[in-house]
Amino acid sequence: MPARDFFHSVMRIGPVQIGTHRDRNGATKHAAVCSSDGCGWSADYSTQSAAQLAARTHRCRVR
Ligand SMILES: [Zn+2]
């Protein structure tokens, strides 16, 4: 899992937290990170709306 030293959680949709962080180029990225045990899904998006959409459509892989 990549380090998110500057991750700031700004909202939560279900188990998914959405926050902003900066990539190594200094650009702001919107990250969606699932906090469910055993899921570990996370992804970066360039816009918050894209991250929100991904969070709403995310389905955990529950075994
Ligand atoms: Zn999940």
Among 20, 55, 50, 10, residue whose Cα is nearest residue 36: 55
* pTM listed for this prediction: 0.78
User: What is the pLDDT at residue 1?
Assistant: 47
Q: What is the CA(43)–ligand 1 centre distance, in A?
A: 11
Cα-to-centroid distance, 23 and ligand 1 (Å)? 23
Q: Which two tokens stand for residue 56?
A: 């709403």
Residue 2: its pLDDT value, please? 52
Distance CA 7, CA 19 (A): 6
Average pLDDT value for the chain: 87
Distance 14 CA to ligand 1 centre (A): 9
57 pLDDT higher than 60: yes
Q: Which helix (H) or strand (E) holds 50?
A: helix 48-57
pLDDT of 5-34, one tens digit each? 557 778 999 999 999 988 889 999 999 999
CA of 25 to the centre of ligand 1 (A): 28
